[in-house]
Amino acid sequence: MTLLLALIPILPLFGFLVLSIFGGRLPWKVVATIGTGSVGLSALLTLIIGTVFLSLPSPDGVYAVNLWEWINTGGLTANISFRLDALSLVFIFVVTFVGFLIHVYSVEFMKGDEGFSRFFAYMNLFVFSMLVLVLADNLLLLYLGWEGVGLCSYLLIGFWYKEPANGYAARKAFIITRVGDTAMIIGLFLLFINLGTLNINELMQQASLKWAMGSPLALLTAALLLGGAVGKSAQLPLQTWLPDAMAGPSPVSALIHAATMVTAGVYLIARTHVLFALAPAVQTAVAVIGALTLLLAGFSALTQHDLKRILAYSTISQIGYMFLALGVGAWSAAIFHFMVHAFFKALLFLAGGAVILLLHEEHDIFKMGGLRKKMPVIFWTFLIGSASLAALPLITAGFYSKDQILWFAWSASNGSPWLWAAGFVGAFLTSLYTFRMVFITFFGETKTEPDHQPGKLIVIPIVILAVFSLLAGFIELPGSMGSFHLFSDVLNTLLPSVILSHENVSEIVFQVLASVISLSGIYLAYVLYLKKPALAGSFNKSRISNFFYSGWGFDRVYDIVFVKPVVWLADIDKNDFIDLFSKGIAMVTIFFNKALSLMQNGKVRWAVMALAIGIVFILTIMMNL
Amino acid sequence: MILLDLILILLTGGLLAWITGKWSSILPRIISFIAIAIDLLLTLSIFLKQEGFGHTAWLINYRTNWIPSFGISLHLALDGLSLLLLLLTFFLGLLSVLISWKEIRERVGFFHFNILWILAGIAGVFLSMDLFLFYFFWELMLVPMYFLIGIWGHENRTYASYKFFLYTQASGLLMFLSILALYFIHGRNTGIFTFDYQELLGTSMSAPIAFLLMLGFLAAFLVKLPIVPLHNWLPDAHTEAPTAGSVILAGLMLKTGAYGLLRFVIPLFPEASVRFAPAGMILGVIGILYGAKLAFAQTDLKRLVAYTSVSHMGFVMLGVFAFNTIAYQGVVMQIIAHAISTGALFILVGQLQERIHTRDLNLMGGLWKQTPVMGAMGLIFAMASLGLPGLANFVAEFLILTGTFRANILMTCLASIGLVAATIYSLRIVQKVFLGKEATVWKMKDLSIREKIVCGSLVIVVFWLGLFPQPVINTAKPSVIKTLNSIEQVSINQNTNPIP
Average the pLDDT over each of A502-506, B5-9, B493-497 and give the range with the smallest value. B493-497
Residue A3, SS3 per DSSP: helix
How confident is the model at residue A54, as a pLDDT? 85
A80 contacts in chain B (CB < 8 Å) = 467
Mean pLDDT for A374-396 is 90
- Convert the pLDDT of each residue in B340-354 to its tens digit: 999 999 999 999 988
Per the document, the length of chain B is 500
Question: Under 8 Å CB-to-CB from A586, ≥6 apart: which residues?
Answer: none
Question: Under 8 Å CB-to-CB from B481, ≥6 apart: which residues?
Answer: B325
How confident is the model at residue A467, as a pLDDT? 93
User: Which residues, in sequence order, are bridge partners of residue B77?
Assistant: B61
Residue B35, SS3 per DSSP: helix
DSSP A498: P
Percent of chain B at pLDDT exceeding 90: 64
Contact B437 A162 (CB under 8 A): yes
Average the pLDDT over each of A153-162, B57-66, B142-151 and give the range with the smallest value. B57-66
Residue B300, SS3 per DSSP: strand
* A74 touches B325 (CB < 8 A): yes
- Convert the pLDDT of each residue in A127-138 to its tens digit: 999 999 999 999
Contact B398 A20 (CB under 8 A): no
Mean pLDDT for A434-441 is 90
> How large is the C-alpha radius of gyration of chain A?
30
**Segment (H or E) for A350:** helix A331-358
pTM metric for this prediction: 0.92
User: How far is CA B250 from each of CA B130, B139, B254, B356, B418, rounded to the nearest angstrom?
Assistant: 25, 17, 6, 23, 19
Q: Is the model's pLDDT at B55 over the cut of 80? A: no
Three-state secondary structure readout of A145-176: HHHHHHHHHHHHHCCCCCCHHHHHHHHHHHHH
Q: How confident is the model at residue A327 (pLDDT cuts 50, 70, 90)?
A: very high
**Relative orientation angle of helices B157-190 and B207-224, to the nearest 10 degrees:** 150
* CA gap A221, A173 in Å, rounded: 24
SS3 content of chain A, % helix, strand, coil (to 5): 75, 5, 20
B399 contacts in chain A (CB < 8 Å) = 71, 73, 76
Residue with more model confidence, B157 or A480: B157
Nearest chain A Cα distance for residue B402, angstroms: 5
User: How far is CA B323 from each of CA A122, B272, B399, B487, rounded to the nearest angstrom?
Assistant: 41, 13, 12, 7
The partner residue sitting opposite A179, judged by closest CB among B163, B406, B420, is B420
How confident is the model at residue B498, as a pLDDT? 41
Question: Under 8 Å CB-to-CB from A580, ≥6 apart: which residues?
Answer: none
* CA gap A55, B236 in Å, rounded: 67
Percent of chain B at pLDDT exceeding 70: 97
Q: Is the model's pLDDT at B131 over the cut of 70? A: yes
- Convert the pLDDT of each residue in A455-478 to its tens digit: 889 999 999 999 999 888 888 887
B residues 284-323 near A, CB within 8 Å? 293-294, 296-298
Mean pLDDT for A261-279 is 93
How confident is the model at residue A134, as a pLDDT? 94
Query: Is position B71 within any domain?
Result: yes
Residue B78, SS3 per DSSP: strand
Mean pLDDT for A482-499 is 78
Residue A579, chain B, CB below 8 Å: the answer is yes
Query: Is position B497 within any domain?
Result: no
B368 contacts in chain A (CB < 8 Å) = 161
Residue B452, chain A, CB below 8 Å: the answer is no
* CA gap A557, A555 in Å, rounded: 5
- Convert the pLDDT of each residue in B254-284 to its tens digit: 999 999 999 999 999 998 999 999 999 999 9
CA dihedral A547, A550, A552, A553 (to 10 degrees): -100
Q: Is the model's pLDDT at B499 over the cut of 50? A: no
Mean pLDDT for A208-221 is 90
Query: Is position B170 within any domain?
Result: yes
DSSP A335: H
- Alpha helices per DSSP H over B298-391: 301-320, 325-356, 372-385
Cis ω before A417 (30° cut-off from 0): no
Q: Is the model's pLDDT at B54 over the cut of 70? A: no
CA dihedral B61, B65, B71, B75 (to 10 degrees): -20
Contact A74 B231 (CB under 8 A): no
Contact B231 A20 (CB under 8 A): no
A residues 379-418 near B, CB within 8 Å? none
Query: Is position B493 within any domain?
Result: no
| Number of Cβ within a 10 Å radius of residue B198 | 16
Query: Is position B488 within any domain?
Result: no
* CA gap B371, B451 in Å, rounded: 13
* Amino acid present at B439: A
How confident is the model at residue B497, as a pLDDT? 47
How confident is the model at residue A529, as a pLDDT? 84
The partner residue sitting opposite A570, judged by closest CB among B235, B297, B389, is B297
Contact A143 B401 (CB under 8 A): no
Residue B419, chain A, CB below 8 Å: the answer is yes
**Relative orientation angle of helices B142-152 and B131-140, to the nearest 10 degrees:** 10
Q: How confident is the model at residue B117 (pLDDT cuts 50, 70, 90)?
A: very high
**Domain extents in chain A:** 583-624
Three-state secondary structure readout of A508-545: HHHHHHHHHHHHHHHHHHHHHHHHCHHHHHHHHCCHHH
Nearest chain A Cα distance for residue B126, angstroms: 24
Three-state secondary structure readout of B36-104: HHHHHHHHHHHHHCHHHHCCCCCCEEEEEEEEHHHCEEEEEEECHHHHHHHHHHHHHHHHHHHHHHHHC
Residue A71, chain B, CB below 8 Å: the answer is yes
Mean pLDDT for B448-466 is 93
* A333 touches A292 (CB < 8 A): no
Query: Is position B378 within any domain?
Result: yes
Q: Which long-range contacts (CB under 8 A, 24 or more apart) does B185-194 make?
A: B185/B209, B187/B71, B192/B71, B193/B70, B193/B71, B194/B71, B194/B73
Percent of chain A at pLDDT exceeding 90: 50
| Number of Cβ within a 10 Å radius of residue A25 | 9
**Positive or negative CA dihedral for B173, B179, B183, B184?**
positive
A190 contacts in chain B (CB < 8 Å) = 405
* CA gap A448, A452 in Å, rounded: 12
Mean pLDDT for B442-468 is 91
Q: Cα B13 vs. chain centroid, distance in angstroms?
A: 23
How confident is the model at residue A413, as a pLDDT? 82
Question: What DSSP string runs through A379-401?
Answer: HHHHHHHHHHHTT-TTTSHHHHH
Contact B389 A143 (CB under 8 A): yes
For residue B62, give its domain range. Answer: 2-483
The partner residue sitting opposite A164, judged by closest CB among B294, B427, B437, is B437
* B182 touches B203 (CB < 8 A): yes
Residue A143, chain B, CB below 8 Å: the answer is yes
Q: Is the model's pLDDT at A622 over the cut of 60? A: yes
The overall average pLDDT reported for chain B is 90
A216 burial type by CB count under 10 A (0-12 exposed, 13-18 middle, 19+ buried): exposed
* CA gap B340, B484 in Å, rounded: 26
- Residue in chain B closest to A114 (alpha carbons) equals B369
A147 contacts in chain B (CB < 8 Å) = 388-390, 394
Q: How confident is the model at residue B328 (pLDDT cuts 50, 70, 90)?
A: very high
User: How far is CA A603 from each of CA A594, A595, A612, B98, rounded to the nearest angstrom?
Assistant: 17, 16, 15, 59
Question: Under 8 Å CB-to-CB from A554, ≥6 apart: which residues?
Answer: A237, A239, A240
Q: Is the model's pLDDT at B160 over the cut of 80? A: yes
The partner residue sitting opposite B366, judged by closest CB among A162, A178, A579, is A162
Nearest chain A Cα distance for residue B111, angstroms: 29
DSSP B359: -
* A281 touches A311 (CB < 8 A): no
How confident is the model at residue B266, as a pLDDT? 92
Contact A76 B293 (CB under 8 A): no
* B403 touches B322 (CB < 8 A): yes
How confident is the model at residue A565, as a pLDDT? 87
The partner residue sitting opposite A151, judged by closest CB among B388, B399, B403, is B388
A19 contacts in chain B (CB < 8 Å) = none
Nearest chain B Cα distance for residue A432, angstroms: 38
Mean pLDDT for A182-192 is 93
* CA gap A180, A193 in Å, rounded: 20
Q: How confident is the model at residue A1 (pLDDT cuts 50, 70, 90)?
A: low
Q: Is the model's pLDDT at B394 over the cut of 90? A: yes
Q: Cα A134 vs. chain centroid, distance in angstroms?
A: 14
Nearest chain B Cα distance for residue A429, angstroms: 36
Mean pLDDT for B417-422 is 92
Mean pLDDT for A436-450 is 85
How many folded domains does chain B comprise?
1
Quote the ipTM score. Answer: 0.92
The partner residue sitting opposite A161, judged by closest CB among B329, B417, B435, is B435
Q: How confident is the model at residue B500 (pLDDT cuts 50, 70, 90)?
A: very low
Mean pLDDT for A530-540 is 76
A70 contacts in chain B (CB < 8 Å) = 467-470
How confident is the model at residue A503, as a pLDDT? 61
How confident is the model at residue B494, as a pLDDT? 62
* CA gap B408, A538 in Å, rounded: 58
E strand spans, B48-203: 60-67, 72-78
Contact A581 B473 (CB under 8 A): no
Question: What DSSP string runs through A598-625?
Answer: HH-S--HHHHHHHHHHHHHHHHHHHHH-
Mean pLDDT for A13-28 is 89
B residues 350-409 near A, CB within 8 Å? 366, 368-369, 372, 376, 383, 388-390, 394-395, 398-399, 401-403, 405-406
